[in-house]
């Protein structure tokens, strides 16, 4: 089974009373401040269910009992399917999975090292690289096809992603109901039909609110359309502590929770029992630079705290974690990604995003993606801690080897070596003399060599030819439909 077994080391910030306080604070906000969603469909669902709705302001006030009913109804134990079954992601609370980071609009060109707009070719290439990396369990398309007109771009993004990788694909760009319908058509073409897609969803969808307490109408309508089709969805709150969320981290967790539960409530009203995942990408707002501090320690704490809250409700969580503000692969990127990701591993979060992007999740770097893969495996190993049982205590082996002996030739050593020790790939542990003789390569140099080898040698099994033809047909039909009708 893929994924990292959840670790023995437990990072917990909250007592049960803290979780109750966060929950009741969230219900207070939803019932008395409400949530804004500019959508007649969504407001109608809420009003029919007993919410107080102001159609002039598009604000709905949601009673706590309706929210708790939605929490109870949602399908929580999920499997995110892949077109190659060995890559299926089982969200049963026992494993942690990593995802690539998504929706960048630029790439550090692999040949020139210069920043440029991302293209369809880049999305296909990064899918191939992610397919080869052990830590990239889920593929959130790292970049979008900026060379495709924006009205059809998201449909093309899903087509290219599913064609380029054998793993589960997670999207975050659905902007309207009409677009969502075409995404379902793409998914159904690969799954076999819409019933097969419902049984084995090979893609899932995230939907980002506008903090504080606003859900985009088009994206939310798209989420409801996907939920009706059985596609797992999540609402992925992104409050920035100090500007779109309270400066206090607990307050921003409540804003995130209110947005997620508001979206959940509408989804369960539209499609009772539909699959749902909790999401968070909250971080601090840097008051010095007036920018989002995606790689700061506050992001790690918000994500880990939201993870505990999600588990309190019984949901799997997708959280932003392995993130940096650095513009180049290297020291800042590594220490920010490690420090912003480690708490989520300790907190037992189910899905941790972040592989591959720099500059606050806007630019793809193939070298950084390879480095992130190694760091994710290091973080997962740290979370495993030390196992205490007869085999691991090794008392009999210690007595057998005795004073002054060596454990190197013992069968016990070979039996446990690869399970107990982290084996490096691009980390250089050789002597200084050997390193110098080999050209003094940095970790970025070695990551670049590995990425180049993957691009040249790794083979992704293509989708069947009839599916590829269906993809092209669906994209053309979607282009005609959306260009003639828009996203109304």
Under the banding of pLDDT at 50, 70 and 90, the label for residue 237 is very high
Q: Is the pLDDT score of 299 beyond 90?
A: no
Which pLDDT does position 488 carry in this prediction? 58
For residue 290, is it left (φ>0), alpha (ψ between -120 and 50) or beta? left
Quote the domain boundaries for residue 199.
4-14+71-384
Which pLDDT does position 422 carry in this prediction? 86
Asked if residue 411 and residue 358 are part of one domain, the reply reads no
| 440 CB-near residues (< 8 Å, 6+ apart) | none
Q: Is the pLDDT score of 15 beyond 80?
A: yes
Minimum mean pLDDT among 116-120, 215-219, 394-398, 480-484: which range?
480-484
Please state, for a pLDDT cut of 70, what percent of the chain lies above it.
Answer: 99
C-alpha distances out from residue 466 to 154, 162, 291, 408, 473, Å: 22, 14, 47, 54, 11
**In the numeric block, which tokens belong to residue 227?**
């939920």
- Do 385 and 8 form a contact (C-beta atoms < 8 A)? yes
Asked if the structure places residue 138 within a domain, the reply is yes
C-alpha radius of gyration, the chain, whole number = 23
Which pLDDT does position 210 carry in this prediction? 93
Model confidence pLDDT, tens digit, residues 121-143: 999 999 999 999 999 999 999 99
Model confidence pLDDT, tens digit, residues 307-353: 999 999 999 999 988 999 999 999 999 999 999 899 999 999 999 99
Asked if residue 233 and residue 110 are part of one domain, the reply reads yes
Q: Is the pLDDT score of 203 beyond 90?
A: yes
What's the domain count of the chain?
2
Asked if the structure places residue 142 within a domain, the reply is yes
- Do 243 and 63 form a contact (C-beta atoms < 8 A)? no
| 66 CB-near residues (< 8 Å, 6+ apart) | 49, 50, 51, 265
Asked if residue 223 and residue 293 are part of one domain, the reply reads yes
> Three-state SS string across 408-440, please?
CCCHHHHHHHHHHCCCCCCCCCCCHHHHHHCCC
For the chain, the average pLDDT equals 94
Asked if residue 168 and residue 262 are part of one domain, the reply reads yes
Asked if residue 402 and residue 380 are part of one domain, the reply reads no
Under the banding of pLDDT at 50, 70 and 90, the label for residue 487 is low
Asked if the structure places residue 459 within a domain, the reply is no
Which pLDDT does position 474 carry in this prediction? 97
Asked if residue 402 and residue 331 are part of one domain, the reply reads no
Minimum mean pLDDT among 5-19, 168-182, 247-261, 450-464: which range?
5-19
Asked if the structure places residue 122 within a domain, the reply is yes
Which pLDDT does position 82 carry in this prediction? 97
At which of 331, 357, 384 does a domain end?
Answer: 384
Asked if residue 203 and residue 147 are part of one domain, the reply reads yes
C-alpha distances out from residue 397 to 7, 388, 421, Å: 26, 15, 18
Model confidence pLDDT, tens digit, residues 150-180: 999 999 999 999 999 999 999 998 889 999 9
Asked if residue 396 and residue 374 are part of one domain, the reply reads no
Quote the CA–CA distance of 82 and 89 in Å, as a whole number. Answer: 8
Does this model's pTM top 0.85? My answer is yes
Asked if residue 406 and residue 355 are part of one domain, the reply reads no
Asked if residue 174 and residue 304 are part of one domain, the reply reads yes
Mean local confidence (pLDDT), 345-366: 94
- Look at residue 363 and give its three-state secondary structure: strand
Asked if the structure places residue 488 within a domain, the reply is no
Asked if the structure places residue 208 within a domain, the reply is yes
Sign of CA dihedral 222, 223, 228, 231: positive
Asked if residue 418 and residue 286 are part of one domain, the reply reads no
**Local structure of residue 290 (DSSP, 8 states):** T
Choice between 41 and 485, residue whose per-residue pLDDT is larger: 41
Q: Is the pLDDT score of 114 beyond 90?
A: yes
Under the banding of pLDDT at 50, 70 and 90, the label for residue 296 is confident
Which pLDDT does position 486 carry in this prediction? 65
At which of 423, 446, 470 does a domain end?
Answer: 423
Asked if the structure places residue 276 within a domain, the reply is yes
CA-closest candidate to residue 88, choices 187, 186, 167, 193: 167
Mean local confidence (pLDDT), 173-191: 94
**312 membership: H or E segment, kind and range:** helix 297-313
- Do 81 and 230 form a contact (C-beta atoms < 8 A)? no
Model confidence pLDDT, tens digit, residues 408-431: 999 999 999 888 898 888 999 989
Asked if residue 402 and residue 307 are part of one domain, the reply reads no
What is the widest separation between alpha-carbon atoms in the chain?
A: 82
**Local structure of residue 403 (DSSP, 8 states):** T
Q: Is the pLDDT score of 8 beyond 90?
A: no
Under the banding of pLDDT at 50, 70 and 90, the label for residue 11 is confident
Asked if the structure places residue 10 within a domain, the reply is yes
CATH number for the domain including 305? 3.20.20.480
Quote the CA–CA distance of 204 and 227 in Å, as a whole number. Answer: 10
- Do 120 and 147 form a contact (C-beta atoms < 8 A)? yes
């Amino acid at each position: 089974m893929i994924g990292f077994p959840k670790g023995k080391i437990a990072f917990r910030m909250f007592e049960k009373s803290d979780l109750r306080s966060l929950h009741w604070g969230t219900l207070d906000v939803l019932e008395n401040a409400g949530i804004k969603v500019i959508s007649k469909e969504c407001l109608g669902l809420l009003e029919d269910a007993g919410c107080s709705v102001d159609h002039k302001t598009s604000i709905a006030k949601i009673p706590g009992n309706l929210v708790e009913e939605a929490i109870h109804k949602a399908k929580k134990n999920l499997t995110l399917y892949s077109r190659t079954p060995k890559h299926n992601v089982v969200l049963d609370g026992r494993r942690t999975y990593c995802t690539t980071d998504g929706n960048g609009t630029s790439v550090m060109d692999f040949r020139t090292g210069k920043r440029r707009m991302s293209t369809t070719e880049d999305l296909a290439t990064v899918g191939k690289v992610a397919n080869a990396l052990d830590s990239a369990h889920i593929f959130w398309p790292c970049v979008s096809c900026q060379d495709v007109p924006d009205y059809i771009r998201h449909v093309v993004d899903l087509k290219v992603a599913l064609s380029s990788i054998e793993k589960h694909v997670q999207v975050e760009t659905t902007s309207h109901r009409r677009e969502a319908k075409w995404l379902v058509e793409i998914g159904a073409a690969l799954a076999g039909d819409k019933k097969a897609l419902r049984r084995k969803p090979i893609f899932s969808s995230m939907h980002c609110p506008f903090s504080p307490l606003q859900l985009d109408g088009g994206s939310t309508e798209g989420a409801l359309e996907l939920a009706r089709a059985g596609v797992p969805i999540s609402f992925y709150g992104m409050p920035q502590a100090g500007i779109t969320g309270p400066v206090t981290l607990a307050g921003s967790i409540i804003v995130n929770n209110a947005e997620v539960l508001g979206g959940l409530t509408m989804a369960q009203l539209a499609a009772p029992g539909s699959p749902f995942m909790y999401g968070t990408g909250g971080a601090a707002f840097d008051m010095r630079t007036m920018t989002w501090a995606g790689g700061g320690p506050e992001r790690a704490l918000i994500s880990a705290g939201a993870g505990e809250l999600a588990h309190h409700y019984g949901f799997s969580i997708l959280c932003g974690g392995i993130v940096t503000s650095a513009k180049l692969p290297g020291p800042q990127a590594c220490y920010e990604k490690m420090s912003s990701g480690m708490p989520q591993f300790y907190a037992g979060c189910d899905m941790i995003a972040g592989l591959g992007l720099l500059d606050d999740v806007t630019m793809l770097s193939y070298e950084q993606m390879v480095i992130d893969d190694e760091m994710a495996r290091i973080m997962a190993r740290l979370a495993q801690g030390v196992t205490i049982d007869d085999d691991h205590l090794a008392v009999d082996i210690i007595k057998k080897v005795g004073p002054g002996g060596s454990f190197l030739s013992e069968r016990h050593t070979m039996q446990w070596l690869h399970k107990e020790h982290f084996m490096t790939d691009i980390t250089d542990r050789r002597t200084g003399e050997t390193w110098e003789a080999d050209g003094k390569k940095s970790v970025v140099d070695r990551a670049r060599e590995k990425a180049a080898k993957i691009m040249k040698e790794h083979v992704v099994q293509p989708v069947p030819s009839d599916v590829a033809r269906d993809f092209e047909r669906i994209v053309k039909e979607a282009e005609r439909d959306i260009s003639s009708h828009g996203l109304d």
